[in-house]
Amino acid sequence: MKIKTLNNILDNKKISLTTKSISAFHIVKLHSLFIKKKFSVINIIYKIFKKILVIIFIFNDFFKKKYNKKIPNKKILIISHLINKKHLNSKDDFYYGNFENILKKFNKSYYKLMINHTDINSSYLNLKNRNKNFFILDKNLNFEYECKIIFKKIISLFELFFLFFCRKLSFKNFFLLITSLFDSTTSFSLRINYQIKDFIKSVNPRFCILTYEGYSWERMCINGVKSVDEKIECIGYQHTPVTHHHRAIFNYMNGNFNPDKIWCSQINSYKILRKKIYKKLKKKILFVGNFKKNTIKKSKIYNSKSFLVIPEGIYSECDILFRFSLRLARQFKNLSFIWRVHPVINFKKVLNDLNIKKNNLPKNILISSKKFEEDVLRCKYVIYTGSAAVIKSVLMGNYPIYFHSDNEKNFDPLIAFFGDKNYVNNEKSFLNLLKRIEYKSYKKDFRKKVLSLKNDSFSNPDVKKIINSFKSR
């Protein structure tokens, strides 16, 4: 996969918005399994057929109007995520913590949109929602918009064929982009773009704040905002650790696809972004601290032979970590492993990818059905790659074990604090690390590193910087 070639195409002003929304252009991390998607004509036909069925299903929505709810002008628009239904009743936002309380304290008017990642219909959730200050975006649009998405994807397909025949795309990249074009993530990005345009007209904000990692939907969201009013300032909130091997967050796109500012929640991530981000934004990267309260307390670990396995919200990472822990479980019967997936991951799909049935899993592999904190307390160790959840588990007392597979980039969110001494790539190195962890010197060094991690991850919000950000325009 030639990244430079893809970036050149992405920056071409003649390329359509739909083509630019293709998720393969916006790879956050260069996971080997993530970028080596298999091209399948049957799979693409299946996805198109599935989409047609969805459109037929929502045919009764043909005459549904665009969002036209009248909202008093709000200075700030917050774009967040609904991971599960419980978040509707939470005092603090899952991503922004107590940020809304800061805005209220300084009398800053705001409105919040939430992207629905649950299996529950958005219309139902909005009816049940008693909070009139936020709205949950639709997972599917009306008949008109869904047809428009399919039509534009077909146009984009011809655009990719043209690039291929003009030798601007390699055979490999060509099929990668086609596969990604008909992926659900590309449709998701386009739906965000369409909906944001309608909401911006209703809310009429001066600032728009969104979580920012470089995903396609984030770029399309910013474009949707700017297409209505270029004067609206878009602020990207970096809420997860950034490593040197991240990609999309460092990229600059020609046109209205980039945040005007980036707020950083961690000191180390701030330093990396300042070093690697494009020059046009370097001066507008601000360290604002973490909006989430530090409620983490070190607790007594119950089981010294239990391992928590926490892949990131990427199917390829689930595949890597679960395959490794599956080998360990079969080889070491005295050890137990708790598999826990990110809320956006469908566990049934994970099992299908592993080509294994739930009933056929070894007895020493447990599927998590508890809260994250409870899983942490059940284990002494945590096996991870790129998941930011490892920070919380380590602060609670888990010893980190980073699985660094061969020919894979390093996405370790703890590397600035723990280095590579906790890395494993096979069963032998895994056993050697377990032996080292029992040394007194290792445990003493571990406590020092945990303290450093705590100071970096939970810096108090810089309220002055935050409020001053809203005075620039």
Sorted by where each starts, the structural domains of the chain and their CATH numbers stand as 3-62+141-293+464-469 (no CATH), 306-457 (3.40.50.2000)
Q: Find out whether 375 and 340 touch, Cβ atoms under 8 Å.
A: yes
Asked if the model's pLDDT at residue 372 lies above 70, the reply is yes
Asked if the model's pLDDT at residue 41 lies above 90, the reply is no
Asked if the model's pLDDT at residue 247 lies above 90, the reply is no
Q: What is the pLDDT of residues 337-369, one digit of tens each?
A: 999 998 878 888 888 888 888 888 999 999 998
Q: Find out whether 225 and 199 touch, Cβ atoms under 8 Å.
A: no
Identify the sign of the CA torsion 413, 416, 418, 420: positive
Q: Which two tokens stand for residue 138?
A: 């639709």
DSSP state of 437: H
Q: Which residues contact 371 (CB under 8 A, 6 or more apart)?
A: none
Better pLDDT: 56 or 72: 72
Q: Which two tokens stand for residue 377?
A: 């307390």
* H/E run at residue 146: helix 143-165
N- to C-terminal Cα separation, the chain: 41
Better pLDDT: 22 or 43: 22
Q: What percent of the chain clears pLDDT 90, i.e. is strictly above it? A: 41
Determine whether 362 is exposed, middle or buried from the number of CB atoms within 10 Å of its CB (0-12, 13-18, 19+): middle
Q: Find out whether 432 and 438 touch, Cβ atoms under 8 Å.
A: no
Amino acid (1-letter code) at residue 363: K
**3-state DSSP assignment of residue 382:** strand
Q: What is the pLDDT of residues 268-303, one digit of tens each?
A: 999 999 888 877 787 789 999 988 876 666 666 666
Q: Find out whether 380 and 399 touch, Cβ atoms under 8 Å.
A: yes
> How many angstroms separate the CA atoms of 432 and 435, rounded?
5
> How many angstroms separate the CA atoms of 90 and 96, rounded?
12
> How many angstroms separate the CA atoms of 122 and 59, rounded?
17
